[in-house]
Amino acid sequence: MRFIETKKLNDYILSTGDFLRCTTEDFSAKLSSLESVSLQSVSLEHDRSFLKELSSVLNVIVSIIYHPHIANKREEVIIRIEQAQQIGQEAFLNTVKDSKLWKEHNVRMVPEEVYYYQHIDELRIYENRFIAFLIDLIDKELAKFSNFYLSKLPTLTSLSNTLDSREIGEVIVEIDRLRRKTQFIQNTFFYKETSKGKPISRKIQPTNILLKDRLYRYCFKFYKNFMRYEDVNDTKHDLRTYYMILLFKELLAQGFRIQSASEKKYVFENGEFTLTLTPEVGEALALQILCHRFPTTPARHLLGFHVETEKAIGSASGEERKNYEGCEMLSLWELCYADVPNAAATLKTDTEEALIRSWLSDKLSLVATDRYIYQKYCPVCRSRGVDNTEGVYSCPACDSRYMFDHSNEDTVAWFRKIRKKGIS
């Protein structure tokens, strides 16, 4: 999670005040008074603005490349006397002192070679090395942006009849343009010369050139602001609160009623289910589902949160999951199963509201079905050999779990846990 997302999240949590400590009586009223905020929209808008800023910085860098600061370096060399147009007093005295340069010629001692001071334009000064360092930093950041937004680009699925990239497509096009520009810069003599050798420290020293030259100062100021995005504290607690508020809103929208509310437990009920939500240590959220058709066998699920999707994948340990039937992870952008071997293949990308709705609906699925065939074949993956333990059917292939209610003429299955091979 980047700086702008974290800041907006923190601002939003502060705006909710002590909502999670409210009583059962005023829970619904306080919840409805909370505004809805999409961190994804905030992030997308910020990224578009940030890419414009990157474009300006790259334009400034191109200007620097054409007119860079250089250092005039004096270097002492020994050259043949006919190559020296003129020598200064210091070079002359050094030549007189060095007998190896003198040879006898017609009974006279004359120098065949002389000391000479040549002046060289030095491009690899500290400030230009900083520009090369900044180019590399921008290139890496654009690569991250590209990977991130390409993972959000809609792809064809069996259920889709349209492919609308919306603003994401525009962002990807702009990222590609900027990456081509950085590649052009990296092919210049300036970059190849100044990027040689060991890179400079990330703690940039504010030299006179970086502070006073208009172009260099622009790049230095950008770099100082850019570094803030790497110093973001862990905000999993705020992210959990954010998603809990979205979940509460979704439950009320689906007809659930709040039965009790405290900081440690929230109980919701409708005609079919009773849900008990408990914030856990480690910034996770425990959910117990009691289906009224099966009053003695509640299902327990764990929802973890992480600010970075890459770290969210597989971050719930076996010890954390052992007391739960299912375990999933939520980041700002994605939902995935955390209790399967290949969690990355189960990533689902959607809006925050859609992600929390999807997570909830999978656990409240009541489907009219044919009991006799699905006692043998898994209704999720079609695998044969379903296990039955005290009325809970488990698929050994995908680990989906379900129960049958055949008290009426039509058999209804409650899916306690759904594990599709890919949910994206």
Concatenated DSSP letters of 205-270: ---HHHHHSHHHHHHHHHHHHHGGGG-PPP-HHHHHHHHHHHHHHHHHHTT-EEEEE-SS-EEEE-
* Nearest alpha-carbon partner for 413 in 370, 378, 361, 355: 370
Which residue would you say has higher pLDDT here, 233 or 260?
260
The size of the chain, in residues, is: 424
Rank 38-47, 109-118, 164-173 by mean pLDDT and report only the highest.
38-47
Lowest mean pLDDT among 15-19, 94-98, 162-166, 286-290: 162-166
Predicted confidence (pLDDT) at residue 232 exceeds the cutoff of 50: no
- Rounded CA gap, 258 and 237, in Å? 23
pLDDT of residue 236: 77
pLDDT of residue 2: 60
Distance set, CA 404 to CA 168, 374, 384 (Å): 43, 10, 17
| Amino acid occupying residue 72 | N
Predicted confidence (pLDDT) at residue 383 exceeds the cutoff of 50: yes
pLDDT of residue 175: 93
- Rounded CA gap, 64 and 41, in Å? 35
Q: Residue 411: how many CA atoms within 13 Å on its side-chain side?
A: 13
- Rounded CA gap, 288 and 272, in Å? 14
Find out whether 173 and 166 touch, Cβ atoms under 8 Å. no
Name the band, by pLDDT with cuts 50, 70 and 90, for residue 257.
Answer: very high
Enter the tokens of residue 290: 């009691």
Name the band, by pLDDT with cuts 50, 70 and 90, for residue 424.
Answer: very low
Q: How many CB atoms lie within 10 A of CB 346?
A: 22
- Rounded CA gap, 391 and 398, in Å? 18
pLDDT of residue 99: 72
Lowest mean pLDDT among 142-146, 228-232, 262-266, 275-279: 228-232
The pTM assigned to this predicted structure is 0.69
- Rounded CA gap, 344 and 312, in Å? 10
Q: Average pLDDT in the 143-154 region? A: 83
Predicted confidence (pLDDT) at residue 109 exceeds the cutoff of 80: no
pLDDT of residue 76: 66
pLDDT of residue 300: 93
pLDDT of residue 233: 41
How confident is the prediction for the chain on average, in pLDDT? 82
3-state secondary structure of 415: strand
Find out whether 399 and 415 touch, Cβ atoms under 8 Å. no
Predicted confidence (pLDDT) at residue 423 exceeds the cutoff of 60: no
